Amino acid sequence: MKAVEAFARRHRLQWWEALPWLAGIAVFFAFPNHLGFATKVVITILFALSLDLVLGYAGIVTLGHAAFFGAGAYTVGILAQHFNWAEPVSGLAAAALVAGAVGLASGFVVLRTHGLTLLMLTLCTMTLLEQAANMGAEWTGGFDGMPGLAFEKILGLFAFDVLYSRSQYLYSLAWLLGAFALVRTLVYSSFGQSLTGIRENVRRMHAVGAPVRARLILVYAISAALAGLAGGLWAQTTGYVNLAVLGLERAAGILIILILGGYGRLYGAMIGAIAYMVLEDQLAKAYPTTWQLGIGITLVIVALYVPNGILGLAETLRRRIAGKRARG
Amino acid sequence: MDLASILLGGCAAGMVLFIVSVGLSVTMGLMGFINLAHGGFAMLGGYAIVLAMKHWGLDFVAALGLAFVSVAALSVVLERLLYARLYGAAELTQVLFTIGLAFVMTASVTITVGPETQVVHLPAWLRGQTDLGFLQYRTYSLALIVAGAALVLGLWLGFERTRFGARIRAAVDNRRMVASLGVDVSRLFTVTFAVGSGLAAVGGGLGAEILGLDPNYPLRYLVYFLIVVAVGGLGRVTGVFFAALLIGVLDFVLKIYFPKGGAIFIYALTLIILLWRPHGLFGKKGA
């Protein structure tokens, strides 16, 4: 009965779930000179969270999630530069809508496959968008991108802070909180349960009559919209958009971050983004030419010894200690 | 440029893609291992050739042989020590591991040799033009086509006409069945992996003229190698050959006529082919 009770309660908020947000606010006061970097971390967490929804919960292995990040970023950029639509909140809504639509359309097409084929199809979708952004220079700025984007005050109150990124940080943190609440509600809903079922045993889900394809397409679109939100935030907080938002490097990077933190665990996105970006930042500062070696070795070690990521490792340790206590 | 020159240039590029990708296709088909570091072996081969020619004065052909042997040996060590632990692991773990390995290769080359692009100096007999009777064409491209054709013939014979090849084909189709018949699949895989990596090394050296050679090679061309493998079908030598030729010729043509965004057609075509035939043009259903 204990397991059933734990399962029935697992969606309830625990006291420690407030800690990340308190830490987020503490960062604002403790590191006033590093808020530009912290903003990037927050946005990356949001991006990783969107990937966790499809990869960790629905089990869709994709190498092209940056497509939606890029779609969001370019939406915000194009609206600001060509249509004078510089109001940030509605700009983000547009970014999420466009990215969600791209996700819906591409999900409809590619989600009939799996394994290597699916990996390649997501990758090709992303590179197609990348090439399109490269070719449509009139709209996207092509290879040079769109530098120097300016946006209006957030809610008409807080101007984007070029020097210290203070308003950018809180603005991004607020969006992350909203997105996190949405994702958390989703994964513990019956919809989220059916996604986990599809990940674990597709045949059985078909057999019980679950609309597998419709569910997968829907979660893909939701995740794409969240990734688009992250991309739009990236464009607004940095003030530029270029091809790097769409590339394989970003797609692979976010995958690495999520696996490092632990996928299918909600908080893996947070832990992974913080661990990876701080490590990369420190290594790049200390060894400007050789930092990639450190990242590479870390990834190899994680893959070999910590396949479930940092959170998976913590869980194993906790169980082992609890088991020793029960026996001893 | 006339049609014949375009076709020849495309075929030469296709041969390079084939030589690099064929090992990836067979190892992925055998073990289902997603090896994103495969391009790294090609890069290491290219560097082995450049350095051996520069510092030891080896000639081009001898350096190719050296690259094959040394990279094949390195890949066996990596396979036994690291890859073997991850057979049967989650796809994502394999992706993480091989991307990490590609990073390590890129960084090691940057540190030891430097970030600049390397040039492979061709011997005199491979430079210049050759008269084919109906047109003059670059000797090196022609040599690439001849070498690639010889290689595909050799691989095809080895695959279709030898007992070892039969075992590989059988293991691609049904690994557990073959294992229960007493074939040591893990050794089969080690050998295939070594040969595949060695060939990639040769391809990296031969293709340096066309693809270039610098530390970012592994990730830059990864998409192309993966496209060739996916379009050709896993574990199909002939499939990879035709896919490589198709992509090579298309890429060459598009670069001439649409220099700005020709690659977009390659990705679109791959998308359509994979939607039409999810296991590639030549792959078997359910393989």
Residues 24 through 63 of chain A touching chain B, CB cutoff 8 Å: 55, 61, 63
CA–CA min distance A86, chain B (Å): 30
Mean pLDDT for B172-184 is: 87
Percent of chain A with pLDDT over 90: 53
Report the SS3 class of residue A208.
Answer: coil
Q: How far apart, in Å, are the Cα atoms of B197 and each of A307, B4, B81, B128, B142?
A: 25, 32, 16, 30, 24
H helix runs in chain A, sequence order: 2-9, 19-30, 35-52, 66-82, 88-110, 115-135, 137-140, 166-188, 190-200, 202-207, 212-238, 248-261, 268-286, 291-305, 309-327
With bands split at pLDDT 50, 70 and 90, how would you rate the model's confidence at B28? confident
- Residue B274 in contact with partner chain A when CB distance is under 8 A: yes
CA–CA min distance A181, chain B (Å): 26
pLDDT of residue B62: 92
For residues B95, B97, B99 and B100, what is the CA-based torsion angle, rounded to 10 degrees? 160
Q: How far apart, in Å, are the Cα atoms of B180 and each of B55, B171, B174, B280?
A: 49, 11, 10, 28
Chain A residue with CA closest to B233: the answer is A117
Domains of chain B: 3-123+135-276 (1.10.3470)
CA–CA min distance B226, chain A (Å): 7
- With beta carbons less than 8 A apart as the criterion, state whether A243 and A145 touch: yes
Contact state of B226 with A120 under an 8 Å Cβ cutoff: yes
Query: What's this model's pTM, rounded to 2 decimal places?
Result: 0.90
CA B141 from chain center: how many Å? Answer: 17
Averaging pLDDT over each range in A137-141, A181-185, B129-133, B172-176, which range is the top one?
Answer: A181-185
> How many contacts (CB atoms, under 8 Å) link A and B?
129
Chain A residue with CA closest to B283: the answer is A117
Mean pLDDT for B249-273 is: 83
Mean pLDDT of chain A: 90
**Contact residues, chain B, for A119 at CB < 8 Å:** 34, 226
Between A134 and A76, residue with greater pLDDT: A76
pLDDT of residue B284: 66
With bands split at pLDDT 50, 70 and 90, how would you rate the model's confidence at B286? very low
Mean pLDDT for B79-99 is: 88
With bands split at pLDDT 50, 70 and 90, how would you rate the model's confidence at B6? confident
- Of residues B90, B104, B110, nearest to A300 (C-beta): B104
Chain A residue with CA closest to B25: the answer is A116
With bands split at pLDDT 50, 70 and 90, how would you rate the model's confidence at A2? confident
Can you tell me the ipTM of this complex? Answer: 0.86
Max Cα-Cα span within chain B = 56
Contact state of A121 with B234 under an 8 Å Cβ cutoff: no
pLDDT of residue B1: 62
Averaging pLDDT over each range in A55-69, B165-179, B245-259, which range is the top one?
Answer: A55-69
In this predicted structure, the answer to whether residue A72 has a pLDDT above a threshold of 70 is yes
pLDDT of residue B118: 87
- Residue B93 in contact with partner chain A when CB distance is under 8 A: yes
Each residue's pLDDT tens digit, B191-203: 989 999 999 999 9
CA A275 from chain center: how many Å? Answer: 15
- Of residues A115, A131, A304, nearest to B97 (C-beta): A304
In this predicted structure, the answer to whether residue A109 has a pLDDT above a threshold of 60 is yes
CA–CA min distance B225, chain A (Å): 11
pLDDT of residue B73: 96
- With beta carbons less than 8 A apart as the criterion, state whether A214 and A77 touch: no
- Of residues B91, B263, B264, nearest to A61 (C-beta): B91
Each residue's pLDDT tens digit, B56-77: 988 899 999 999 999 999 999 9
Chain A residue with CA closest to B222: the answer is A248
Residues 51 through 90 of chain B touching chain A, CB cutoff 8 Å: 82, 85-86, 89-90
Residues 206 through 265 of chain B touching chain A, CB cutoff 8 Å: 219, 222-223, 226-227, 229-230, 234, 260-261, 263-264
Contact state of A124 with B270 under an 8 Å Cβ cutoff: yes
- What tokens does B231 get? 């379009």
Q: Sign of dihedral through CA atoms A71, A73, A75, A78?
A: negative
Chain A residue with CA closest to B115: the answer is A289
Each residue's pLDDT tens digit, B204-221: 999 888 888 988 888 888
Each residue's pLDDT tens digit, B33-60: 888 999 999 999 999 999 999 899 888 9
- Of residues B82, B103, B219, nearest to A248 (C-beta): B219
With bands split at pLDDT 50, 70 and 90, how would you rate the model's confidence at A131? confident
pLDDT of residue B285: 54
pLDDT of residue A21: 93
| Burial readout A266-285 (b: 16 or more C-beta within 10 A, e: otherwise) | bbbbbbbbbbbbeebeebee
- With beta carbons less than 8 A apart as the criterion, state whether B199 and B68 touch: yes
- Residue B27 in contact with partner chain A when CB distance is under 8 A: no
In this predicted structure, the answer to whether residue A1 has a pLDDT above a threshold of 80 is no
pLDDT of residue B17: 92
Domain definitions of chain A by residue range: 19-247
Contact state of B34 with A116 under an 8 Å Cβ cutoff: yes
- What tokens does A309 get? 């990521």
Mean pLDDT of chain B: 87
The residue among A300, A306, A308, A310 with the most chain B CBs within 10 A of its CB, best to mutate, is A300
pLDDT of residue A148: 81
